Structures are given as structure tokens and as C-alpha cells.
Structure 1
């Protein structure tokens, strides 16, 4: 992705007026300044329109309540594993793939799939480089690795991270995870505040805090209960799409959609497998449970994939 995301597009050389071409367009004249400003404004408007079209395309499956995002992990920098996860998402019929916020990994992912790449981080300053490398969406979330270190996030911290990300990347699709460590009423309140801040997608979680007491299908449903409850409650409190994530499987993914989610996010059920064939099979199983196409097909409108 070119640097036009962050700076005005330079006008073609044939549109640049030279001072000796017309005395009314001398470089320091008021008319020259107005022409220059108008040219920059038109270029900015064109860039914003293209960004808006790309954002709409990235969010299309969420608005159609059929999104399936496969997650490799916020701190997973293993190129082989990330490549396998991306390949599985592409071949298995997912609509999005979520990887660590690392430009080199983004370039690797874009070489393997045309699916929109989402990058996850809790450092807003890291997002621009990943967007430059080809990512089309950013996610404040995938906190699992931090929970394992005893770290949690407050509503205030999440809101501050969101505001900073919106300041840096106002036109890029933004998803924010509501921590399951908050009480359910506080999760709903935070989701409402995030919607007011202009977030595009709310993501729920809960698998890490659930220890199923049953085996088999009963255990899968029990494990998904916290994130399903959050998706149900939050989807009825906000107008933006809600993605249900953590502890989901082919058994519980359809339940998430029924509960009100616009899509599901699946991580460890895929990225913990040791074989790419097994990964593809699991993604296909989840996609089929959601009645999605499993051809891996995802088409961007011309000129919307790269800016």
C-alpha cells in the first residue's frame, strides 16, 4: 500500500503550473495559492473516497452477518505458523484473517491471500507501518497473551487506545475487543462508548475464562457461553456489527450468529493445530456450519485492494 494513505497524492506533472507560464500564476500570488490549495484538496478528496470504498468492502461481510475471521495471535511471530493459518483461512472459506501487527508478516500474508488482512496490537503507533505494508483493518484486542502474564485492561485504557488509533488512522476499519474481565454490564457500557468513538466493529471474548466441566459437544457449548452472552447483550445495545470470538468451534459458531453476532473470530482452534491440512479442514468445517462458501473466494473491486 502506498504512502498516499498518510499524505496527499502528488498531482501529475502536467498539471503543475510554472511561474513563467502565466503571470497570474506566479508562485507567490494569491491566485497561485488558491489553485495550489484547490489541487491539494481535490487530491485529498480522491484519496478519502478511495479509502472509504476500501473500508466499505472490508466491512461488507460484517454488514451481511457472514464474517469469519481466522486469528493467528497478537504475539505470534512464527512465520511458518502464520503462513499456515493464512493459507487455511484462504483455502477454507474465511472472509478475513487476523495476524500480529508486523509489516513483514503483513507482506507475507498478502503474498498468500487476497483476503483482507487485519492486524492486532495494543500499541496504536505500530498500526501505520502495517497499513503501509498492505493491512486493510486494525484490531485493538486479542488480549489472551497478556492475561497469561497477569495483565488486564480497564475500560479507560481501551477508550484511550481507541481514541489514539482513530486519531492516527481515521479512515481505516477499526475493531476493538471488549475485555471479558469486565462485568457484563460494564462490557455493554464500554461497547456503547466505543460506538460513540467511531469504532466499526465490537469484538467479544470469553473462552479463556471458561473451564468446561463437560467433554464433547456439551463442553464446546459451555466453553463458548461467556462470549455468546456478551455477543447477545452487546449486539442489542449497539448498531455496529459485533464479532463473537474466543472458544468458538463449528458447533458454536452458528449459535453466535443466532445470538446477534455479525461474524465470528476463531484462533486457537486453528492456530494450535500442527498441520496445514488439518487447519484447512477445521476452517471449512466452521465456514460450512455458518453456511459460507468454502471456495476461498473474495473479490475486491478494481483499485480498492491497493491505494
Structure 2
């Protein structure tokens, strides 16, 4: 029988957001005028850089062409993660999603220039991963918890979201809406998450689908729950929706047609045992979304400019 996970409240002290204890630096009125101006300019520059980074990370979502390859929330196998990241990079993906571990982030950023997203259900873990180079954080990829009989309530997800926003207010944030909720409840939660300032809503459903047919029919059956969620949620919120879980080259284009701004693919890639096969699978999905064609056109334009 499923039980609700009890998520601890993250500590208030975080590496990226440690309050300045120096009373002389608590307010601009206590600072020399020159120092106050310098601090203001520095703060403005930081906000501008964070805004530019977020725009860059979300660009493919706004263009409805994002393809995120997922290695798995609890996959700490460096060799497998390296293979998944390399496949994403060489296969034509736009983002890569890995476990929330600073060492894995450093490994990933050494292998690709794609934006690295880290997934966790512990907001306190995000700061170290962001320091290591992650450009996006995600509350989601719950599949491994379902296997342990653990599900997440809307209240828990909202609390996790609020805590993450408190810790990293300017970071690009994606939150997965559990397929264990009814579709009306998924829509309601998505609307609440949008109000909390979430940047991307991710859908799921592959684990809850048991195809009865082989081949293409089976692939479509498997993707039905997440496609239905993407269709319904994308019409209820204004922020991008990422359709994930149980997708393939056959069903990825259906997700975009249903209203998604991008697709997330995990087991179809990370369960393969061969790096070449991983690259081929990512390439197949990218081709189904016409991503490689778009990149080829951009490349040609850049060449002509030179």
C-alpha cells in the first residue's frame, strides 16, 4: 500500500544564501556612498546575469523544441551518467537531467555545454549542485519512489516548491505533477505551481501504463497518460509544459502536438547498455522532433555570415 513520504524541512543556512552577519553591511544607509553605489551596481549585474541565464535555459521551451535526456534521480553510476550525457550531447538534445550530486554535475559539465538540470525531492541539496554548475533544478522524477510504495501529495509538492524558491529564488525551476493524481487534481496543482513562480511543469505517466499491444500500438498506449496530462495542463497554464515518462521517437512528436513545449526521455536511453545505441536513440527522437534540421539550418546561417 502506498504511503506518503515525510520530507524534512531544509535548514535555513545554505551555501549560496548565507546572510551577512556584519552590521555595517546590513543597509545601504550605513555604507559610504561610493560603496553603496558599487554594491547596487553589483546586485544589478548579478540579477541581469541570472535573468540572461534563465532566458537561455528556457529558450528551447519557448520555441517548443526542448528535448531533455534524463539519467535518473537516483542514478549515481558515473559511467552510466557519462554515457547518457554524451548521448544527449551528440544525439541532438537541448538539455540533460541528472541526479542532484555536485560531482556528477562537474562530470556532466566537463562533457557537454548543454544546460544541466538536477533532480531531487530535497530542496536543501540543490545549492551545492548549482554551485557545481547546474543551471536548472527540478522537483520530480518520482519513478524510483513509486517502486518503494511512496507517493507525493499536492501539499508536499507545494511545500517542496516553496522551500526551493526560498533557497534559490532566481534559479530555473521545473516541477513534476504526479500521475498518481486524478487529471483534474493534476491541473489544479499545475495552476498552483504556476502561481508559486515555477518556470516549467513536467508531466509523467509511463510507469502507470501497461500496454496490451506490441510495437507501435504499445508505444502509443504507454505514452497515453502523460500525453493526456500534457494536453490538459498546457491549456490550463501559461508556462511551458514538458511531457515526460514513457515517450519514444514515435510519441515524442505527439507530445508537442498535444501542447507540450518539450519532451523528457529517460529509460528509453539510460537503460541501454551501449553508448552508440544511446546516441542513436537520442538522435532518433531528435529527428522525430526535427531538432537536427533546425540546428543544421542555424549552422548554415552562421556559416554564411562568416
Fold shared per TM-score above 0.5: yes
**Which gives a bigger RCO, structure 1 or 2 (Cα 8 Å, sep 6+)?**
1
Give the paired residue count.
Answer: 276
Work out the CA distance in 2 between the residues paired with 1:140 and 1:262: 18
Is the 1:4–1:47 Cα contact (8 Å) retained in structure 2?
A: no
Give the drift of 1:293.
1.4
**Structure-1 residue corresponding to 2:26:** none
Deviation at 1:90, TM superposition (A): 0.2
**Aligned mates of 2:253, 2:200 — CA distance in 1:** 19
32 and 224 in structure 1: CA distance in 2 versus 1, 3 angstrom threshold = closer
* Offset at residue 31 of structure 1 (A): 8.1
1:256 corresponds to 2:222: no
Is the 2:15–2:127 Cα contact (8 Å) retained in structure 1?
no
Residue 191, structure 1, aligned to residue 210, structure 2: no
**Within 5 A, what are the aligned runs for 1:31-180?**
32-180=31-179
Post-superposition offset of 1:292: 0.5
Structure 1 ranges of 4+ moved more than 2 A: 3-8, 30-38, 294-299
Contact residue 188 and residue 234 of structure 1 kept, 8 A? yes
CA distance in 1, matches of 2:294, 2:112: 13
The TM-score normalised by the length of structure 1 is 0.86
How many angstroms apart in 2 are the aligned matches of 1:160 and 1:58?
24
For 1:204-283, list aligned pairs within 5 A. Answer: 204-283=203-282
**2:5 is matched with which residue?**
none
Superposition deviation, residue 5 in structure 1: 6.3
Aligned to 2:10: none
1:92·1:294 contact (CA, 8 Å) conserved in 2? no
Classify 1:285/1:224 alpha carbon distance in 2 versus 1 (closer, same or farther; 3 Å). same
> SS of the residue aligned with 1:44?
helix
Change (3 A) 1:31 1:204: closer
The 8 Å contact of residues 17 and 167 in structure 2, kept in 1 or not, is answered as no
Q: TM-score, normalised by structure 2?
A: 0.87
1:159-184 deviation per Cα after TM superposition (whole angstroms, max 9, x unaligned): 00000001111111000000000000
Deviation at 1:42, TM superposition (A): 1.4
Give the aligned CA root-mean-square deviation in angstroms: 2.1
